[in-house]
Structure 1
Amino acid sequence: MGDQDVDGVRPPRRAWVVAKQLPARTDSGGRQRIRAVIDTYAEVFADVQVVGFDAWDDWREQLPAHVVVHPVEAPQATAPAVLRSSVFAGKWYSGRLRALLAQQVRGRDVVHVDFPQMAVNVPADVRIDVLDMHNVESDLIDRRLRTEHPRARWLVRPEVARFRRFERAVVRRAVRVTACSRRDQEELAAAGVQSLFVPNGVTEPAGRSPQPGTASALFVGAVDYGPNRAGLRWFLDEVWPAVLARTPQARFTAVGRALSDVHPREAGEPAGVAFHSQVPSVDPFYDAADVCVVPLLSGGGTKIKLVEAMSRGRAVVTTSVGLEGLEEYRSAVVVADDPTSFADAVARLLRDPAEAQRLGKVAAEAIAEDFSWRTAMTPLRDLLIGLRDN
């Protein structure tokens, strides 16, 4: 009888959230966003099924009873999946995930897909009600190749083009599309796609500690994400030595997932640098920092780590790419795009704790009201209420 029970009454609608990466202790920006999305679905629907990669048990225990998590082992690309979509989407294929959706999704279920790549796992007869783009991924990949791997770009151009066609087919397949930055909305609109703006937010700190005044700089970011890895390498190689030349007592700490895989290098790292990977909490590191750096040379969407650093009341030095999607906050951060000006900005703030304190306070006040996750998810919450009641 499809979605009708024995009395002919339709049961309440159930929601499925298909996530590329489930939240983890060392949350990246993307993991923070999907956690906020899951929390929003849990507010609206009485039955929420979450399926994705890399869950951790403590996170599931924090969820209400009506949210069920189906963690799936790492994706396993197959030749048919790659041929259907491209290498960039096919690498996220999981036969188990696809089979689970094929067997358990009912006709009236609401299906949310997190990142267009994950649509490679959604059977053709399953409707995608909401597609959260995060970024226009094909554009993001092309920009990363231009800045990080210019020689490789020419070799993989056909795959980028295939992925762009797949991505646009997924966008057309979805009933509603959400984007997290105005720039991505503009990119989608240029392709004839209307989208709903659901911005990024930030997890509000329990409290803001005063800056210690110890000439300490901090980077927070998962370096298994290409733009973070390239930006950190640029900062270590081209910026930090110049900071030390200006401020010999300065110290720099990098914190984030997968740092232990690439740092420190066998060839050695600059002086005054410490690396911490897979930490249980980033709070102590923010507490110990005077200045946060977001040295991105590529990337898309709103940079959650920049918002997070601002919310902690830390002075922030970033690039124009790091500020994309947050241009209205330019007066609350320092923007520098070349190694010399970036080093000048970091060293100046490390030498002047009062100015770093002032800028951190400006940043925290600017972010406080606009970037709570609950506020950011309001457009999605309104959309889901409409879907639930339809």
Structure 2
Amino acid sequence: MATILTIIPYSFYPPVNGGALRCFYLLREMARYHTIYVLTTQDPEDFHHQGEPEFPDNVCIISTYGANKYHSIFNILPSRIADALNYRYIVRSVSATANETLLRSYSTLQKLLHEQSFDIIFYESLNALGLFGDIIRRKTPTAYHLYDAHNVDSRLWLQQAKAQKIKKLKAYAKDALSLEEKLYKKANAFFCCSEEDYRKLTFLNKNKIQGVVIPNGVDLAEKPLDERNDKHLSKQLIFCGSLDYLPNMEGLLWFYEKVYPMVKGKIPGVSLTIIGSNSQPNTFQNLMNDSSVDFVGRVRRVVPYYHRSAIAIAPLLSGSGTRLKILEAMSLGNPVVSTKVGAEGILYNNGEHLLIADSAEQFAEQIASLLSDSLKFNTMRTQAYELVKANYNWKMIGDLVNNYISKLAS
């Protein structure tokens, strides 16, 4: 059994979006055999919601929410100067720009590393590795450092920079690339979601770091199959994903503007349900004003919305990693129509497990073909469910992770 410290410097509970779901289920699966400590910036009160999936007892949440910034003799100076000097002292750099997350987390981290020894340090984002990696490595020289890559971040930032034409995002992409090229200096190994991300990250590191593909998965008990044979009659499409994430935003707008009018022409009475957080309502005003669109927003449980819907859509034009929402739809019994980018990282056969469409015309045609053919509809969703059951259930993925960790511990 290993003792693992996981660094998650953002809110991830309750597990609603793709990244949060991956964090939660990896923690839960590792806790089947190992003792887990989680250092997070999230409010500890958030972890006591009734009705949400629970952590095992051997997962210890340590929150730095509301913690005071690191304090030293430099604090006799004005706070801005003190923060800058304290931060440079902590990271051992004369030119680093102060980061509030680290300043508020450092004392708690120091105390934890002094009181508890760890076999493995697990970083749940590139930011976590970049912010905490060097500090923790100095204090835990014998620990094994693992980075969990949800995406290839430099690629995502670059896609967003091109789409939004914002220079700052290009700078983010450059910074992410600089760190991704040095993973072999920061970590002993990395997990990633897909074979394509594995190839990119190993290439960036010139094969100097070990990587393991740990795909996203689904909790089949939490996401039960809807077995109704008349499900296609609802004529309801569902899009699920945070609209604060650019690939989801641009994909949904493309679908609504280019694809949806054609679908409505082919399938009278069709409707669209949209699930996901949205901090930019003005961007989606046309959808909100459309009586055939149910703009629900963020919900605690997505299951009822999938069960009342027919087809799940993943019209993404950019992004990387694995679309957890596609796997979720497959588990719940909704056939999926997706772009190639949207289905990246999933081991599917087009026409057997889902339908791929990269043009607006083809996307509309694929939706219409499923809604007008009950045999095709039910055959595809059954095959998709079997794919998830065989390859993407969290129990199986957890065994893969724990076997890897057990080899390290031994």
TM-score range, shorter chain: 0.7 to 0.9
- Structure 1 CA distance for aligned equivalents of residues 171 and 39 of structure 2: 33
The aligned runs of 1:1-390 (5 Å cut-off) are 14-25=3-14, 27-53=16-42, 55-58=46-49, 62-73=54-65, 93-106=101-114, 108-109=117-118, 110-122=120-132, 124-127=134-137, 129-146=145-162, 148-149=163-164, 151-152=165-166, 156-191=169-204, 192=206, 193-204=209-220, 205-210=223-228, 211=231, 213-258=233-278, 261=281, 264-265=284-285, 269-330=289-350, 331-389=352-410
Structure 1 residues 27-53: Cα deviation after superposition (integer angstroms, max 9, x where no partner): 111111111111133122235334243
Deviation at 1:229, TM superposition (A): 1.5
Answer with 173-182 or 61-70: which moved more.
Answer: 61-70
- CA offset digits 1:212-233 (Å, max 9, x no partner): 5121111111112221111111
Q: Give the unaligned 5+ runs of structure 2.
A: 70-82, 138-143
Which moved further from structure 2: 229-238 or 161-170? 161-170
Deviation digits for residues 111-153 of structure 1 (CA, Å, limit 9, x no counterpart) = 110011112431633126111112221122223333x22x33x
* Deviations 1:251-274, CA, capped at 9 Å, x for gaps: 110112237845751785444101
Name stretches of at least 5 consecutive residues in structure 1 with no aligned partner: 1-11
Report the residue type matching 1:241 in the other structure.
P
Change (3 A) 1:29 1:15: same
The DSSP-based 3-state class of the residue aligned with 1:219 is strand
Counterpart residue type for residue 105 of structure 1:
L
User: CA distance change for structure 1 residues 79 and 333 in 2, over 3 Å: closer, same or farther?
Assistant: farther
CA distance in 1, matches of 2:113, 2:318: 37
Given that residues 19 and 113 in structure 1 are in contact (C-alpha distance below 8 angstroms), is that contact kept between their aligned partners in structure 2? yes
Instruction: Describe the shift of the 1:325–1:47 C-alpha distance in structure 2 as closer, same or farther (beyond 3 A).
Output: closer
Deviating above 6 A after TM superposition, structure 1's stretches of 4 or more consecutive aligned residues are 78-82, 89-92
RMSD: 3.1
TM-score (norm 2): 0.80
The letter for the 2-side match of 1:58 is H
Task: State the match for 1:5 in structure 2.
Answer: none
State how far apart, in whole Å, the 1-side matches of 2:378 and 2:62 are.
Answer: 44
Note if contact 2:309-2:334 (Cα within 8 Å) is conserved in structure 1: yes
CA drift of 1:240 comes to 1.0
Structure 1, 319-328 or 104-113: larger mean CA deviation: 104-113
Query: Percent of counterpart pairs with the same letter?
Result: 22
SS at match of 1:183: helix
